[in-house]
Structure 1
Amino acid sequence: MIISYQWLLEYLPEPLPVNELSQILTSIGLEVEAVEPVETIKGGLEGLVTGEVLTCAKHPNADKLSVTTVSVGGAEPLHIVCGAPNVAAGQKVIVATVGTTVYPTEGDPITIKKAKIRGEESAGMICAEDEIGLGNSHAGIMILPADTQVGIPASQYFNLPATDHAIHIGLTPNRSDANSHIGVARDVCAYLSHHRKSEHRAVMPVSFFDIDDKSGTDGWPAINVSIEAVEACPRYAGMGISGVKVGDSPEWLQRRLAAIGVRSINNIVDITNYVLHEYGQPLHAFDADRLNGGKIVVRHLPEGTVFTGLDDKQRKLRADDLMICDGNGPVAIGGVFGGKDSGITEGTANVFLESAYFAPMGIRRTSMHHGLRTDAATHFEKGVDINNVLPALHRAAAMIAEIAGGRVLPHMTDVYPTPLKTTEVSITYEHIRRLSGKDYGHEAIRNILLALGFGIQGETAEMLKLSVPSNKTDVTQPADIVEEILRIDGLDNIEIPQRLNISLTKALPTDRHMRERVAALLCGMGMQEIVTNSIVNSKYYPGNETLVRMINSLSADLDCMRPSLLEGALEVAAYNCNRRSTDLALFEFGNVYKHIDGKYVEESRLSLLVTGNARGQHWQYKAQPADIYYLKGLLNNMLAANGITGIATSYDGDTIVWKWKNRELCRMMQVPKDKRTAFDVKQDVYYAEIYWEVWYSATGSVKTRYSEVPKFPAVQRDLAIVLDTQVSYQQVQEVTAQLKLAELRTYGLFDVFESEKLGAGKKSYALNYTFQLQDRTLTDAETEQLMKKLADAYKNKLNALIRD
């Protein structure tokens, strides 16, 4: 949300510097994320002054230049070389002094410096209007009236408004009461009342003017309003304004809207936008002459009804979309978007002004479904004050009458079948003290609540019975009252005790420590953790019939729950690679979702992604690209660190599948090129996804055993075997494991050799074995016997030949 500083000051009892105001806002829970200056004219004409040309002579070395002396109110006149054809002695002009930065209408800013121009010194510039951003003319310098005072700032002469600031507030969804300038001002005034003991409240510029019933209606009949969908629209009010003239808004109104990032359209629409951001109450203006039948009906229409909006797009309505209809059909989507056939145009003479309350849930569903994220919809979906309907309506009608020359008609409509019941909350002073951790005085509590608009319905020495103002839609229980008190006292004034006593009421997840352990291990191996969105685009998964699709999707690009972590990791990889950060090692803990046999399944996964270089360039070695073996090494390190053994490997196409006790533990692959291309990733990517529940079960079955460091040396032997090319290294591992050699500590493959000398369809594996005992040193005879067992097993079960 953006607030205009100058606009907000109108509702405050005293002017506050923008920095102090920002601190107050953050202290009361309206966190200021940024403060940006807003200038009507770039630079604010700073450094520019009015002057008088005292003398003007032709430049001795240039036909088109003049040498002038100009008084700007100082002790000595300035010598300025000027190229304008219309400069002459006696003129009052605008002068940019040395050091001033001017901002032309077109082009880059220019800082004025002392210079010599064709041999003549020049200390300033006499300005044309386009040179200082006041217009487009460059025919000559600006000539001011003869009675202009010399030496006054140009900003003062042109009566520029005070520099405004756009205050960006990170408004939380529950704070609909502060979703306007008056709402923010109310909180600031309550803060000032509490801390500075003033009696001021936020100024409420409501114009409840008297309407002359004898003024006539110019033959314009009243608009009759009826509500058929009362639950979706509990209140609807309207007022007619005749004889308006649609045109540009006055400059002050355009500046106000521009300061908060709202584009000016015309005076009628601008006024509705102004009141929206002033009160937080959305309004809509209809061209009354284009409303058929002289009536408004608030209702639902049949599924599939076609509606044409202000943007000329046709939309098919849902049965629960709330529509504003006239005698012929829909003219607006209630609280969301206006219709083409009833909007304000240059020819509009009569206006019907709508101010209503629409139920938040229905507005959000309609807005999200049709992709219409309008200001009105975002206000309604958070909840607006139903008692603001009439004040905002009167305010806008008064402004239209004043600015657009209209006349407010006598027959205002306010359909409000069931008035809102006031919420009441009882709270004890002891509960406030216990929950806030601060001992507030009773009078301080009462004053804060009164300043915020709460009513005191009953009071004892121990408790308060309060009526909640209708703008506080999120206040429903005693804890909410305490929050309001803490906010106005200032969140940064909460005292932090030296000792905190905490009672954990809920056990931590059983796998939390394992997650932290694995995350620390992966970070130690140079990987970085990422967190991606669980809601993704269904176009990533064509033909996937198990997708969990969103009923109310946030957008067309976020419409299903992810069935895999791969796509999110590829989005992160693409983002980084496009910014020349190409060496990535990423991991993510996350859940995946699927819909099978009418049931929704949620599973925890751990993903690993590597791409680019596993090791960068160094003077001692070349860069090492990441590959599938590098990723496999990371996984092996994880298995070893967690004591997981008994892993079986198989292949599912190009995917390597690791199993533990016949349960899938991990899938690892090189991401296919077409998948990478879909995410605009041009380099090779290697990916693994771990089934976390299986991993957690595997680690839980590990029994920790301790043994002393061997005192006796290990013995190493090499063995080279010739095998058929279709025999995999996994089969060699399986045969080795079947022997169950207690003396065998480790073994591994250190060379693969293929040549015609070995024979057609043959390959050679070279393996290294390490043998060791705890109680003694192995003899050569014992070692040779172990090697013979291995060789015989390979011969018998793999048809291997032993190479000398």
Structure 2
Amino acid sequence: MIVSGEWLRDYVTLTMDMEQLAERLTMVGLEVEAVEKPYAYLQTVVVGRITAVEAHPKADKLKICRVHDGHQERRVVCGAPNVAEGQRVPLALPGTVLPSGMPIQEATIRGQVSQGMLCSQKELQLGEDASGIWILPQETPIGLSLADALDLDDVRLDVAITPNRGDCLSMVGMAREAAAICGTSVRYPVIDVKETGPRIETLASVTVEDPVGCPRYAARLIEGVTIGASPQWMQRRLESAGIRSINNIVDVTNYVLLELGQPLHAFDFDRLRERRIVVRRAVAGEKFVTLDGVERTLFDDTLLICDGQGPVAIAGIMGGLESEITASTTRVLIESAYFQPECIRRSSRKLGLRTESSYRFERGVDPEGVLRAADRAAQLMQELSGGSIAQGRLDVYPTPVPRPRIRLRVSKVNRFLGMNLSAHQMVDVLRSLHMDVESVDAETFEVIPPSFRPDVTREVDLAEEVARLIGYDKVPVTHAQVPLYSDPVDPHAQTRGELKRVLEAAGYHEVLTFSFTSEKALRSLRLVEDDVRLQPVRLRNPLSEEQAVMRTSLLPGLLQTARLNLDRGNTDVRIFELSKVFLARQGELLPREDHHLVGVVVGRRDPRPVYGAEDPVDYTDVKGVVEEVLAALHLDESQYRLTRDALPPYGDPRYGATLEVKGRGVGSLGRIHPDVQEAFDLKREAYYFELDFEALFALRNPHPGFVPLPKFPSVVRDMALVVEAKLPVADPLAFIRSLPEPLMESVSIFDLYRGKPLADHQKGVGYRIVYRAADRNLTDEEVNAVHERVTAQVLERFQATLR
């Protein structure tokens, strides 16, 4: 919004200059983006009087003028044909830069010194006349700057108006804000309509078929107008806002739009068929040619202004080519209406058509200002173009727009703003903004905002109005007193995070798969029919069959991810997921949501060609990472069972095991069954581990805490056994660990052998036992005695022999 200081002073008395007003406007929420002095160049253009005119000795078309500038006489070479002695003319002194960008300096023209330039209206951009120099009235004081002589010492503000402040898109709207800032009052334009024509009802009619899109439509009629140019003062004011002057009728509609903020439209009444107005919605696909000559295809939600036979304007946006004002127009129908903001905003966006009218309508104009704007336009048209105004107005307003009644509590506003304002201060501010304020009690008021402020609907809006007029800089800076505390750490989530870091350190990548899957994927795991995992929770409205049920296992998602990687050339895959599975519960509406930890590995053991070989991963790779998981949970009491019946059907019984911790089954690991591998279209062997995180979490041991480094050395003894080939090597290992020998610190497997000279049903296993005492050095005799005792118990328990 461009605000002219000279125009603004017509409506309000300012107690500060425009630069100070710009600062205050910004502080009340109307940001001033620029302060401009459009006629600053006129300060060095003065009123001069031609005292003599002489012929140029070397140019027939040039003259040498002697011009008095109020202080001295200057010689000016001029080629204008209308110069004459005694004229008062605009003289551009050296140092002036004209609007065209041309600098004026003392120069020599055809051998004669020229000490300035005599200017035409067009050269000063103060008119269109370029035929000669501008002859000023004889009473114009000599030596006065042209800006002062023509009262053009104007300052303009470029104000950014927020979408909720449509009331400020006018000079009167800005005057209201300025008056509230300066503590003065607004001088509204004096409207005096002289109605001398017949009753308007006998000449025209208005029908509103869509009162939702058009709650109010008013019209005035003026006859006998003469189309011509607008006076200079109106042209100048329109141009100050960036609007080009067209003719006296159209200029009045634009002038009232800028003055009062109410968009208007002027129809050539004689070109309205059946002499009536109908407001209706367009028919989808309907065509209409707008004022800019473009044929537009309308939508079924586009609001139209029609005559008795067809559309003549797109409501609130642009008029039609067939009803525009022309030089032959003698009768004008003035439209002034209130359109629903949402309707105009939607149509403007769909049609890709933005105008000054739509810009205001879509932000909301004053429904109670419709008649005032129509009267103001009729008054100005009569003054500028003659004619007679028909008696009365057409005003269709079936359901007046209500004004809210808002309760204001002084204590609530002070608490909201962090201030300590009195009720009197708040009431003064609100009344300065034209709000009706009635007292309920000493601390409570009922406020009715004016009709031009549709953005004020709540108590908090009133608080904002109080704050911005009192001054945001008066709001004290305070700091919220918020006690800082943290929620206790969720051990379940913390443990999940620790295991994820363990797996990432082992070279695995975490993936997140969909919680939805397909029944086909679950059945591809070779599960038996009565398995609870084949009874998933079904979605009522699935996106597709591939995501029709809640997952009961993480394995299908990881196998599909592995296949996706293999298909794209990533042949070395190590992935895991620690997420929920959803297992249905008999008689329960909601499933059980347990966390499982599943990993899949495919490809080479070490994919780095520099350091690795081509050895593929096998069972020991997944067993190793499972041992890392158990170590992170401080679970030493684990056993791997090779019982084929206990292995899940998607595991290959030749390369797999189940895992028990403290006697409780917690998962399985091994190679994916060939049938499952084929079902998921995996081109390479895949190994997996699947752990019940909930069970592991329940069985986890606390951190053992700090153990000081041993002060005394250890003694190592090996035990090489020959046992039955079918005996799990973990059984003797667990048995040795369970023996109550205080000197035994640890035991591990160091060798596994099959072949000659052992029989086919035998194998050799080597166990390494570490002995240590915390308070002394052990002697060979002590260690030998303990080791012989341990060896004897192992041989007896497992019918083994020493190698």
**TM-score, normalization by structure 2:** 0.58
Task: Kindly state the Cα deviation for residue 260 of structure 1 after the two structures are TM-superposed.
Answer: 1.2
Q: Residue 159 of structure 2 aligns with which residue?
A: 169
Corresponding position: 1:432 with 2:413? yes
Q: Does 1:209 align with 2:190?
A: no
3-state SS, counterpart of residue 229 of structure 1: coil
Residue matched to 2:481: 501
Equivalent residues of 1:236, 1:414 under 8 A apart: yes
Three-state SS of the structure 1 residue aligned to 2:362 is helix
Write the letter of the residue equivalent to 1:29: G
* From 98, 105, 129, the counterpart of 1:103: 98
CA pair 96-352 structure 1, distance change in 2 beyond 3 A:
closer
What are the residue-to-residue correspondences of 1:658-669 with 2, within 5 Å? Answer: 661=575
Say which SS state the counterpart of residue 49 (structure 2) adopts. strand
1:237 aligns with 2:218: yes
Report the aligned-residue RMSD: 4.4
In structure 2, the partner of 1:482 is: 463
| CA shift for structure 1 position 391 | 0.8
Q: Equivalent residue for 1:184?
A: 174
Change (3 A) 1:263 1:125: closer
Distance change (3 Å), C-alpha of 1:469 and 1:371: same
Asked if 1:280 corresponds to 2:261, the answer is yes
The answer as to whether partners of 1:307 and 1:339 remain within 8 angstroms in 2 is yes
Q: Matched residue of 2:219: which SS?
A: strand
State the partner residue of 1:786.
none
Which residue number in structure 2 is paired with residue 628 of structure 1?
Answer: none
Q: Once the two structures are aligned, what percentage of the paired residues are identical? A: 36
Shift in alpha-carbon separation, 1:144–1:380, aligned structure 2, 3 A: closer
Match status 1:297 vs 2:278: yes
Quote the Cα distance in structure 1 between the aligned partners of 2:241 and 2:229: 18
Q: 1:339 corresponds to which letter in structure 2?
A: G
Determine if contact 2:46/2:142 at 8 Å carries over to the other structure.
no
Match of 1:112 among 100, 105, 114: 105
Structure 1 residues 503 and 251: alpha-carbon distance in aligned structure 2, compared to 1, 3 A threshold: farther
Whole-Å separation in 1 of the counterparts to 2:159 and 2:241 = 11
Q: Secondary structure at the match of 2:457?
A: coil
1:53 to 2:37 alignment: no
- CA–CA distance in 1 between the matches of 2:414 and 2:329? 59
Amino acid at match of 1:501: Q
Check conservation: 1:308, 1:340, Cα contact below 8 A: yes
Q: Secondary structure at the match of 2:229?
A: coil
Taking structure 1 as reference, are residues 427 and 321 closer, same or farther at Cα in structure 2, changes over 3 Å only? same
Aligned to 1:348: 329
Partner SS for 1:240: strand
TM-score between both structures, scaled by the size of structure 1: 0.58
Q: Residue type of the partner of 2:361?
A: F
For the residue of structure 1 that corresponds to 2:445, the secondary structure is strand
Change (3 A) 1:339 1:27: same
Contact 1:53/1:88 (<8 A) preserved: no
Shift of 1:259: 0.9
In structure 2, the CA distance between the partners of 1:268 and 1:366, relative to structure 1 (3 Å rule), is same
1:338 aligns with 2:319: yes
Residue of structure 2 equivalent to 1:695: none
1:309 aligns with 2:304: no
Instruction: Report the CA distance shift for 1:183/1:648 in structure 2 as closer, same or farther (over 3 A).
Output: farther
Question: 2: distance between equivalents of 1:227 and 1:187?
Answer: 35
What letter corresponds to residue 50 of structure 1 in structure 2?
G
Q: CA deviation at 1:463?
A: 0.7
Q: For the residues of structure 2 that align with 1:360 and 1:735, how far apart are their CA atoms?
A: 73
CA spacing shift, 1:68–1:399, aligned 2, 3 Å: closer
Residue of structure 2 in register with 1:2 after alignment = 2
- Relative distance call for 1:148 and 1:333 in structure 2 (3 A) is closer
Closer/same/farther in 2, CA of residues 262 and 15 from structure 1, 3 Å limit = farther
Q: Once the 2 structures are TM-superposed, how far is the Cα of residue 386 of structure 1 from its aligned partner?
A: 0.8
SS in 2 for 1:191: helix
**Residue 409 (1) aligns with residue 390 (2):** yes
Aligned to 1:377: 358
Q: 1:648 to 1:491 in 2, by over 3 A?
A: farther
Q: Pick one of 452, 456, 461 that aligns with 2:442.
A: 461
Aligned counterparts of 2:55 and 2:306: Cα–Cα separation in 1: 73
The DSSP-based 3-state class of the residue aligned with 1:38 is coil
> 1:266 is aligned with what amino acid?
N
Q: What is the CA distance between 1:483 and its match in structure 2? A: 0.4
| Matched residue, 2:521 | none
Q: 1 CA distance for matches of 2:567 and 2:389?
A: 76
- 8 Å Cα contact 2:256/2:377 also seen in 1: yes
Aligned-pair distance for 1:304?
2.1
Alignment correspondent of 2:725: none
Following superposition of structure 1 onto structure 2, how do residues 766-785 of structure 1 map, counting pairs within 5 Å?
A: none
Contact 1:129 1:135 in 2 (8 A): yes
Letter in 2 for 1:170: A
Give SS of 1:465's match: strand
Partner letter of residue 273 of structure 2? N
Residue in structure 1 matched with residue 369 of structure 2 by the alignment: 388
Q: Aligned ranges for residues 219-258 of structure 1 at < 5 Å?
A: 221-258=202-239
- The number of aligned residues is 528
Contact 2:205 2:277 in 1 (8 A): yes
Q: Is the 8 A contact 1:298 1:322 kept in 2?
A: yes
Q: 1:91 to 1:100 in 2, by over 3 A?
A: farther
Partner of 2:41: 43
Equivalent positions of 1:488-637 (< 5 A) are 488-497=469-478, 499-501=479-481
Are the structure 2 counterparts of residues 93 and 414 from structure 1 closer, same or farther at C-alpha, using a change threshold of 3 Å?
Answer: closer
**AA of the residue aligned to 2:271:** R
CA 1:12/1:87 → structure 2, altered by over 3 Å: closer, same or farther?
Answer: closer
Q: In structure 2, what is the Cα distance between the partners aligned to 1:344 and 1:117?
A: 49
- Distance in 1 between residues matched to 2:304 and 2:386, nearest whole Å: 30
Shift of 1:152: 4.0
Which residue identity is paired with 2:105? I
Structure 2 residue 150 is matched with structure 1 residue 160 = yes
CA-CA distance at 1:662 after TM superposition: 8.4
- The answer to whether the Cα contact below 8 Å between 2:46 and 2:93 also exists between their aligned partners in 1 is no
Q: Distance in 1 between matches of 2:450 and 2:486?
A: 35
Q: Does 1:322 align with 2:317?
A: no
Larger radius of gyration: 2
**Shift of the alpha carbon at 1:210?**
5.4
